[in-house]
Amino acid sequence: MLARTFGTPHLLGHAFGIVPRASAPCRMPLNWALGEKMNRAIYIVVFSLLLSGCPAIFYGNLKNESADTLIIRPPGVPENPWIIQSEERVQVIWYQQCIVVSDSARTQYFRGWPIPPNVVKTGVFSSSLNAVFKDHSLFFESLEGILIPVPEVSECGNA
């Protein structure tokens, strides 16, 4: 009797409550199809979350060790500067192509790329680095505390 009941895939489906429609005997029921689509959606969401481990925002913790107040202007957005007082550390978005630093005497342009490998602190959704401005020069601060000069350029177009 068991061999007769479970002998074909069609009857096996009946035994487990999966009953195909009369018009489409080879199709699985709607709730099974929705479950398959949900599994795909879950895989896509999980895969997307795994990719989000690649940081999208890069921050620079910039310390002003000069006597003047610094103004850091993002390239192309001069109306939203960061103002850093003497001996203050401020978190800014690190513009890797060009960093514009102004003080009371002059404006300087620095090329923020390439970043030395021993400078970056990687987080879950962002990465950061420490930088120091002193003696009219910008420096990367390594994880060991060593200052590495950031190259100065004549203007942002050359960065």
Q: Domain with 77 in it: what CATH number?
A: 2.60.40
The pLDDT score that the predictor gives to residue 37 is: 59
Q: What is the pLDDT of residue 62?
A: 94
Final residue before a domain boundary, out of 15, 35, 51: 51
Model pLDDT, residue 6 = 47
Query: Same domain for 119 and 63?
Result: yes
User: 68 and 137: one domain?
Assistant: yes
- With beta carbons less than 8 A apart as the criterion, state whether 120 and 54 touch: no
Give the per-residue pLDDT at 38: 60
- Same domain membership, residue 149 and residue 73: yes
Phi-psi region of 148 (alpha: psi -120 to 50; beta: other; left: phi over 0): beta
Residues 44 and 93 in one domain: no
**φ/ψ bin of 62: left (φ > 0), alpha (ψ from -120 to 50), beta (otherwise):** beta
Structural domain harbouring 119: 57-158
Alpha carbon 89 to chain centroid, angstroms: 23
Per-residue pLDDT, 19: 53
91 in the same domain as 19: no
Residue 85 and residue 130 in one domain: yes
Q: How many domains would you assign to the chain?
A: 2
pLDDT per residue, tens digit, the chain (159 aa), is 444 444 455 554 555 555 555 555 555 554 544 555 566 766 676 666 555 555 567 889 999 999 999 999 877 777 778 899 999 999 988 877 888 999 888 999 999 888 888 999 887 778 899 999 999 999 999 999 999 999 999 988 744
Q: What's residue 80's pLDDT? A: 79
Distance CA 22, CA 20 (A): 6
> Is there a single domain that holds both residue 146 and residue 73?
yes
- Dihedral of CA 63/84/96/105: which sign? negative
In a shared domain, residues 70 and 39: no
